[in-house]
A and B are shown apart, each in its own frame.
Chain A
Amino acid sequence: MSQKRNTYRAPDVKPPLTAGRVAVYVILVLWALISIFPVYWMLTFSLKNNAEIFGENVIGLPKYWVWENYTRALNTGNMPRYFMNSVIVAVATILITLAASVMATYAITRLQWKGAKSMNKFFMLGLTIPIHASIVPLYTTLARLKMLNSYFALIIPYSAFSLAMGILISIGFMGDIPYDLDEAAFLDGCGVWGTFGRVIAPLMMPAVATVGIYTFLQCWNELMFANTFISKDSLKTLPVGVQALSGQYTTDWGPIGAALSLATVPTLLVYVFLSKQIQDSFIAGAVKG
């Protein structure tokens, strides 16, 4: 990203503090509070007892920290299981998406053949195809193959739907790798595979991060496929599991809050450390599309 070079420079002298500027700042702060409030509220009520949640102390910090909510969320539902399932599905999806899209990108941009451009256009169709398009055929085919209620039922569709974005992002990154490297490798006796495996793939690490983050967020939060293809409790991913759990605890908000927090905190932690990369991965996908 050439962000640094192109940064928009505001005039060096700050304009004077006017009522208008203060008003703008107040709106910025207000929207920040509105953006963060649900998460703040979730984290606090996940540590409160019902008396506090339902009247005594609705939006303050908890007076008594009820960690028991978390043990209850972990024990009654299948939270650890859902969590593991989400991790397994996400990791496998990321690996497949990465391998398939980096390989396809190599074939499209580095190897020379007539159909490369149209092949790229063909893959880019995937950016506009809604998942609705394949839900019925996937469901019936998976049912026929007795593959509903398996990790594959989610991993394969998630990978396929992440592919277009993976290729789009990879093409941008691979374009930055100088062609001289391919030629040098070729002169040194590397074949197509050697060049790909020893030269190109290792240089694609930045793309790996961007594609990985993007794919992770897509499948970590996906609901429609997960809800349709998985009915067995032991195979549910977090969104479906949390949804089921919330139905069980309608009057006891503490444990629900704890379950919601358990599903959310990992993403938030990653975001705290990688906010720039995460934002860039979303920008890379949309801006180049």
Chain B
Amino acid sequence: MSKRPFSYKLNIFVFLLPALILFVGVLIAPIILSGYYSLTEWNGLKTPVFIGLENYRELFTSKSINIMRALKNAMLLALLSTFIQLPFALWLALKLSKKPRGERVFLSVYFMPVLISTVVIGQLWLKIYNPDYGVLNLLLRSLGLGNLAPVKGWLGDKKTALWAAFVPILWQYVGYHMLLMYAGIKGVPPELNEAAMLDGCTEGQVNRYIIIPYIRPILRVSVIFAVTGSLKSFDLIYVLTNGGPNHATEVPSTLMINLLFLRNRYGMGSAIAVMLIILCFVFAVLINAVFKEEKGR
């Protein structure tokens, strides 16, 4: 293989070229640039001034940016996603794989919200939460619980806004995780289940000792997606509250966009971007490690 003609190597290069140009130009080079910008003070017009780690120091100490609140919100979403959304998705997947009547219909309906634009979903939930005409308050009123609803609306009240904004996010992606897990469960060799059933295992035991260990790789992917997706979450928060009221629902991405495009702080915005990349990477590695360790036991 060592005596390949030059033209052969050239061909390899030509086949890779379009992908390489896109990949390096849009992903790799910008990451490096983001890293550099995060070390500068820059308003986007003048030349960036190198200031070392000053942006990061300000980011983690500034009360007006308050990155800790945004991170806490994102972590709360990650926890809710991992410990409520995923178990529920797994439950749905397990039940659907037992072939209830209408299995395909359920599957398709549960997955549908994933395909709808987050802007549309956000606009619809804004209306569901509308204090005067929204369906949620209408439902509460008809149940005689109308006084539960906050006067400023679920998204307008500082106490409820965060939870109200998280509900649609969790709601939208239940079907996505359910689908992945369902596909995994369908891949469990039927012999395994049948053998366990013959040995007198109950459905719960089959789920616990056969199916769930078998689909561990998919659960790992789901947890990684849930956690990194929460850290990066932007679309629905942006449409529903844009970080308000009074920054109660701020997440790192909304902070980043506001610093960038409302206050022209490109250096600081880049620092948040870099922090997010590192956090996503660290969490992916951690989750992988956790799943590996448990397997070793």
Contact = CB atoms under 8 A, between A and B. Distances in A.
A6 B119 CA distance: 38
A172 to B, nearest CB: 14
A210 interface: no
Interface residues of B: mostly helix, strand, loop or mixed?
A: helix
Given A24-B95, A160-B23, A238-B117, A130 B30 contact: no
B16 A107 contact: yes
Given A123-B23, A140-B266, A279-B107, A35 B113 contact: yes
Contacts of A125: 27
B115 A217 contact: yes
Interface stretch (B53-61, B76-84, B150-158, B189-197): B189-197
A69 B97 CA distance: 42
Interface string B263-297: 00010011011101100110010000000000000
A41 B23 contact: no
A190 interface: no
A260 interface: yes
A143 B264 CA distance: 14
Contact of B257 (A42, A112, A129, A228): A228
Contacts of A78: none
Contact of B26 (A25, A122, A134, A223): A134
Interface string B161-176: 0000000000100111
A117 to B, nearest CB: 14
B274 to A, nearest CB: 8
A55 B187 CA distance: 49
Nearest to A166: B19
Nearest to B187: A6
A129 B18 contact: no
B19 A28 contact: no
B253 interface: yes
Contacts of B27: 125-126, 129, 133-134, 160-161
A11 B197 contact: yes
A271 B115 contact: yes
- The residue in B4, B109, B117, B276 that gathers the most chain A C-beta atoms within 10 A of its C-beta is B117
Contacts of A108: 16
Given A132-B276, A140-B44, A256 B26 contact: no
Interface residues of A: mostly helix, strand, loop or mixed?
A: helix
A179 interface: no
Contacts of B190: 6-9
B228 interface: yes
Interface residues of A, number: 95
Interface stretch (A60-68, A97-105, A181-189): A97-105
Contact of B112 (A39, A53, A141, A224): A39
A163 interface: yes
Contacts of A135: 256, 260, 273
Interface in B194-253: 194, 197, 218, 221, 225, 228, 232, 234-235, 238-239, 253
Interface in B1-41: 1, 4, 8-9, 11-12, 15-16, 18-20, 22-23, 25-27, 29-31, 33-34, 37
A208 to B, nearest CB: 16
B22 A163 contact: yes
B148 interface: no
Nearest to A116: B12
Given A35-B109, A223-B118, A103 B19 contact: yes
Given A264-B116, A287-B180, A54 B124 contact: no
Contacts of B184: 287
B133 A132 contact: no
A103 B127 CA distance: 46
B145 interface: no
Interface string A138-163: 11110100000000000011011101
B266 A136 contact: yes
Contacts of B180: 282-283, 286-287
A58 interface: yes
B132 to A, nearest CB: 8
A42 B124 contact: yes
A113 B12 contact: yes
B221 A289 contact: yes
Contacts of B135: 41, 58-59
Contacts of A221: 115-119
Closest 10 CB pairs of A and B: A134-B30, A160-B26, A107-B15, A137-B30, A104-B19, A137-B33, A100-B18, A239-B119, A221-B117, A160-B22
7 contacts: A54-B133, A136-B266, A143-B44, A167-B19, A221-B117, A264-B117, A282-B114
